[in-house]
Structure 1
């Protein structure tokens, strides 16, 4: 094999490798599919207005104002809606990408690993089912874990966390700052919330048993996520 041919093959392999890495990195970010009002992204301390089509990756913090809303569309089919007066950090965003091909492997080879931190406000989620890995939402008073479902998480001014499930099932544990006991269930057991159910978690008392929310409470929360 001639030297020029060797160089050409080397360059082609390098370009292919760089393309696959770029595809994998791109797949680890979610796209801003819709937004309204005041919405910004903070990365490395720098705040920038969000725009349609922006890609939001691991480590980014999203903030919305009084009328702000943001819808994110992720490569695995999951979607997030950040409500008004909210602050969300994408602490960990591994969507189960095969690092070699940049293609979703059905989570058989690359387990999904997503961790979100909601410090205040409201977050709606529709999580595509996954056979392995984790998708969790952390707040000052709770940790919510799912495999695939549709649910919302809200953090109030007093750091109380409320979780409501539209479909599927979630497990909710008191956060690390909570009193250490889940009312009626003991220290280590999560509250399991099924469709149309909800729970409220407080820093000082842990999480309540799952109950069905009144229709007006559900409607009020969903209204805050509408418009995007």
Structure 2
């Protein structure tokens, strides 16, 4: 290999495949479905929880969600039930709900990027408790999710630790992830898959934005900007 070739290889950007999770890799909202699952377990008042859960979900779709309020609400059952009960319940949730929602075409998409040598990262606005086992089911180690604050005894407080990975926060958390590896945006080539206009900030940062199962607003914007549109489901 010539010195020039070696230099060019050294400068080649690292390729990252970034994936939103809910309605992108899986055709459900995992946080919403986890809430419904806790209702079925009798962990909360069904009528009140369903009302508030649906309200928060519509706020998310409209881009008006206060994620701090939502996380306090979404983690209440976990905090009341304790760690062991919650982990056991989530294992059931994975078997009864999530595994059935993981489609072959999503696994194949992730697999193609893995085979191409891309680094895989799931970047989601859902919290780490709900999403870590789902990322594992896709074989993706790198997960950027909403981090949950814990007290000195290791119990969840209902608050968020650090910057929530939602909306513009996804860009902030990705920049933190890159910096921890001695990288910045100029040193990576990124493909980002998402269904939602909520992720516009990260779509605009990505080298290759892909509107995946896009909602109406994102589909219209993707057509306007010439972004790739992927109807995975």
Q: TM-score range by the shorter chain?
A: under 0.3
Higher helix share: 2
Higher strand share: 1
TM-score, length-normalised on structure 2?
A: 0.27
Higher RCO by CA contacts (8 Å cutoff, separation 6 or greater): 2
